[in-house]
Amino acid sequence: METAAELRAAIAQSPAPQVLAVDLDGTLVRTDLLLELLVALLRQKPWCLFALPVWLARGRASFKQELARRASLDVSTLPYREELLDYLRQQRAQGRTIVLATGADRQIAREVANYLNLFDVVLASDGTTNLSGCAKRDRLVKEFGAKGFDYAGNARRDLPVWSAARRAIVVNPGAGLGAHIDGSTEVRTFSETHRRTLRVYLRALRPQHWLKNVLLFVPLLAAHRTDELALLTRLLLAFVAFGCMASSGYLINDLFDLTADRHHPAKKLRPFAAGILPLSYALIMFPILIVCANVIGCFVSGLFLGALWTYFGLSLAYSLVLKRIVIVDVIVLAGLYSVRILAGSAAVTIWPSHWLLAFSTFLFFSLALVKRYGELSVMKRIDGDHAVARGYELSDAELLAAMGVASGYLAVLVLALYINSEKAQALYDRYQLMWFLCFLLLYWISHVWLIAHRGRMPDDPVVFATNDRTSYILAALMVTVIILAL
């Protein structure tokens, strides 16, 4: 990259502006690198949380520098705007000088510039000067002169820069932004098809995973007390509270998994990984959802609140550490399912039998293994024999399948033993019909594992079941068998 002084000398001989300056955050990439670095720091070095106020007190530029020094990003996976990159390559091929002018710290700016191999000069914050807004305008005018450059930006903070530019290139502008640009400045707009609709905001909360919270009703169903309206009301409140707490956990998990998701063929399309939604949305919604969960949970019981926070603590530990420890991760995933049953018990003070706990342990362990096995199958299509998923290697797939199928069949065995117990015979007048449940469950577990073996298990097996016709039919048959056995 040439120095700015050398460029000024060359540009002075040119009859027209040759410099094209480009912003980074929100313009070249769809995300905010300051927040990306902050999330990466909290994931990689969570103890630095207590130092954040001290760094911020020294100024925004110093704060950015401290984050860049201590946290690392994989710049190759960032959600770049490909259309803008193509435009910049065309302009560079025509002999224009391309400048990266960003408020991000110079360390991360240089990493991006080195990866893209597109920029002649990098102007960025240096720990003392925060190169944003008026400071960026003054620096560009100093280096290239007023109206001596074109500038690509995306937000109101870029208005001072555009006022000094020959041409304003507005990237994915918000409503009314163009009206604030100086009328003497030529404007070009790059717009994208991705829009932040209500559906996208809701999608980030993963409402489809709320289906798992139906497990809260299992203790009440198993005790045959579904006719008690007061208990049903408490469980409905518990269902909403658990959904809010689970969604807050999903937001944190998505933030901590940004880099991993961007390497995944399907997960890279998630709103935060793709840069469709700002990371600030997750940081704002996370505490709001927790407050909502606790307020609603207070109307259920203190015991339920304890179970709710047990789930959240286990979920947070999983996102931070446990997901990277093989075998432990699937045990924790299975435990998160079981905690839902225990939370349902706490809500209505109906404690699950040892039969139910044993059955759920084996079944959920099998489903957790399906998830990991499915991820390995997906990564195999990308990385071939070098596929890795959450610390599991491709050679582990056969072992995971063996453990998962065995655990699922053990759940069927527990169900068979329960049907033959005195407790089942006391609850079901025609308990012999319950034996059909064993065959139906055996079929469903085999079906799920067969789908995973064929590489068609995209993510969570429970979410898969909600879109699988075979699972719907088997669920309807199981409900019919239970009703007839009563």
For CA atoms 69, 280, 54, 57, the dihedral sign is positive
Does 230 share its domain with 178? no
Residue whose pair of structure tokens reads 């919604």 in the numeric block: 285
∠ at Cα 402 (397, 405), nearest 5°? 115
Show the 3-state SS of the chain.
CCCHHHHHHHHHCCCCCCEEEECCECCCECCCHHHHHHHHHHHHCHHHHHHHHHHHHCCHHHHHHHHHHHCCCCHHHCCECHHHHHHHHHHHHCCCEEEEEEEEEHHHHHHHHHHHCCCCEEEEECCCCCCCCHHHHHHHHHHHCCCCEEEEECCHHHHHHHHHCCEEEEECCCCCCHHHCCCCCEEEEECCCCCCCHHHHHHCCCHHHHHHHHHHHHHHHHCCCCCCHHHHHHHHHHHHHHHHHHHHHHHHHHHHCHHHHHHCCCHHHCCCCCCCCCHHHHHHHHHHHHHHHHHHHHCCCHHHHHHHHHHHHHHHHHHHCHHHCCCHHHHHHHHHHHHHHHHHHHHHCCCCCHHHHHHHHHHHHHHHHHHHHHHHHHHHHHHHHHCEECCEEHHHHHHHHHHHHHHHHHHHHHHHHHHCCHHHHHHCCCHHHHHHHHHHHHHHHHHHHHHHHCCCCCCCHHHHHHCCHHHHHHHHHHHHHHHHHC
Does 425 share its domain with 316? yes
Given 158, 190, 222, the domain boundary residue is: 190
Name the β-bridge partners of 105. Answer: 125
Does 265 share its domain with 244? yes
- The domain spanning residue 243 has which CATH number? 1.10.357.140
Does 203 share its domain with 265? yes
304, with CB counted inside 10 A (0-12, 13-18, 19+), is buried
- The domain spanning residue 52 has which CATH number? 3.40.50.1000
Given 161, 190, 219, the domain boundary residue is: 190
CB-CB contact of 76 with 144 (8 Å): no
Q: How far apart are CA 348 and CA 378, in angstroms?
A: 41
Q: How far apart are CA 304 and CA 241, in angstroms?
A: 10
CB-CB contact of 218 with 188 (8 Å): no
**Residue 85 structural domain:** 4-190
The two three-digit tokens of residue 123, written as one number = 């102007």
- Count of the separate structural domains present in the chain: 2
HSE-CB of 486 using CA atoms within 13 angstroms: 10
Does 60 share its domain with 170? yes
Residue whose pair of structure tokens reads 């610390």 in the numeric block: 391
The residue type found at 104 is A
Does 86 share its domain with 211? no
Does 186 share its domain with 206? no
What's residue 186's pLDDT? 53
Q: How far apart are CA 151 and CA 123, in angstroms?
A: 13
Does 164 share its domain with 208? no
Cα dihedral 27/29/30/34 (nearest 10): -100
Does 264 share its domain with 375? yes
Given 190, 215, 244, the domain boundary residue is: 190
Give, rounded to a whole angstrom, the gap between the first and last alpha carbons of the chain.
79
What's residue 423's pLDDT? 83
What's residue 380's pLDDT? 64
Does 204 share its domain with 182? no
What's residue 181's pLDDT? 60
Count the neighbouring beta carbons within 10 Å of the beta carbon of residue 222: 17
Count the neighbouring beta carbons within 10 Å of the beta carbon of residue 170: 22
Q: Which of 137, 136, 134 is closest to 147 using CA atoms?
A: 137
Does 279 share its domain with 416? yes
Does 362 share its domain with 306? yes
The two three-digit tokens of residue 179, written as one number = 């009206």
Q: How far apart are CA 273 and CA 262, in angstroms?
A: 6
Mean pLDDT, consecutive 10-residue segments, the chain of 486 residues? 50 60 92 93 87 92 93 92 91 92 94 94 92 93 91 88 88 64 58 74 88 90 86 94 93 89 83 91 94 94 93 89 88 92 92 90 94 79 56 83 94 92 84 90 94 81 85 92 88
Q: How far apart are CA 295 and CA 240, in angstroms?
A: 11
The two three-digit tokens of residue 438, written as one number = 């064993």
